[in-house]
Each structure stands twice: as structure tokens, then as C-alpha cells.
Amino acid sequence: MTVAEPEFAAEPEVVTCHGLLFDMDGTIIDSTEAVVKNWQKIGRQIGVDPEVILATSHGRRSIDVLQIYEPKLANWDYIREVEGVLPKEFGADAVEIPGSRALLEQIDQRSIPWCIVTSGTRPLVTGWLDVLNLAHPQNLVTAEDVKIGKPDPACYALGASKLKLPKANPSILVFEDAPAGVRSGKAAGFRVVGLATTHSIEELIDAGADWIVRDMTSVRLEDWDETTGEARIAIHNALTRSKN
């Protein structure tokens, strides 16, 4: 039996929102190779097979991963130190997700409220943004800012609050690649665009993504109304889903 290839050919859809929340790795950049090398180094140091660590680490905070495999290293001083040098040590192994630079520059230039919400530490995030020369948001939610990481909704709820939107119930659009992150955004009450960059389409569907796209080239800023505080985001070539 032949399994049909997923079709990314849905009709364009324009979504109105007041703020945008972005995951980092797998959404804005792809630092998979760098992260793999970093966990391989840590795995050798603590005597744990790096493949075992890598099977459960994507989209999760390092402190939560180390709490499982080496609790004595599960502290912010150690994690900030390790993650702070990662972009400098393995910077050549990271690339931007297609379309992310253009979108971030557009929303940043128009002063549209946006925030990065990530499982990485602040030194890691700012390090990657500097190395790849990407726009820095005014607001960041990093691993140190919440007690529980994704899929708990606290990080995305905090990200939305940092935008200080005047609306009582603002419309928020989340961009995520990891199922845990999709679940986090949905649990916070937001619509989520899932990027099929690191996980299977089935995993993103199961997590509840409202749209699934190949990468950020499918997401475009159509308009920004400063008076109403509404951005119009066009989603092109999303996954075509059965209506059955």
C-alpha cells in the first residue's frame, strides 16, 4: 500500500492577531548539529550515552534533562555557562530557518509586539541571535523565567503578558516546531502555527497545531494597523487536511 505524501497546498489564509510569540530552535534557527555536539560532549563527561539524552532533549530545558541524567549539574550556573559558549564554539553548525529572517525584520521594523519564548537560557538565545545577526526582540522568555518548562503553558502565558497588550483578551499567534511547544501554546489559549522542521506532521497534528507549514517562507506579514493594534498574517501553502 502506497502512503500519500503530505500536501502543502492549502488555500492562503489571513489571520488577525495582536501579538506574536516565537519558539527559537527549529522555528527561527536550526542549531540541531550544534546541540547534538554539545550533548555529546556533556554525555561523555557524565558517562551517559548521548543518543539516550538526544532522544528526549529537543524542545526541553537543559535543567530538566540534566535532572534526569545528572542531577548535580541541574543548576542554572552550570547551564548558563555551558549554553553561553555553545554559539561561539559551534556557531558554524547553525543556520536560520528559511523565511525567519525576513519575517522577524518586518515585524521588528513595524514595531509589532513580539517575543521569543524558548527552552534555552538567555545567554544561549542572545548568543545565537548575535552569531546569526538576527533581530533581537524587546521581550524574551527563557528557561530561567519559569518553574516548569514546555508543555506547561506558563512560558507562553508569560510571553503574552510581557507584550503588555492593551486588549483585555488579545489574539496571540504562536510559532512552534516541537509537539511540547505546540501543546504549551494551545494550553495557554493561543492559536499555533506548527513548523514541520524537526518533528513529524503526525506529531504536530496530535499536539493540536492549527496550521502546519514546512518553514517560515509560508508566513508573511500582510499589514499592520497601528490604530487597532492588529497585524494581518498570511499563511500560504499550509498542510492540506482532510475534512472528513
Q: What span, in angstroms and rounded, lies between the C-alpha atoms of 158 and 199? A: 25
Strands 139-141 and 114-117: parallel
3-state helix, strand, coil in the chain (%, to 5): 40, 20, 40
Q: Provide the terminal-to-terminal Cα distance of the chain, rounded to the nearest Å.
A: 21
Nearby residues of 48 by Cβ (< 8 Å), 6 or more positions away: 69, 70
CA 28 vs. chain centroid, Å, equals: 7
Q: What span, in angstroms and rounded, lies between the C-alpha atoms of 206 and 202? A: 6
The pair phi, psi for residue 139, each rounded to 5°, is -125, 140
State the amino acid at position 45 in one-letter form: Q
| Catalytic annotation, residues | 23, 25
Q: What span, in angstroms and rounded, lies between the C-alpha atoms of 227 and 17? A: 13
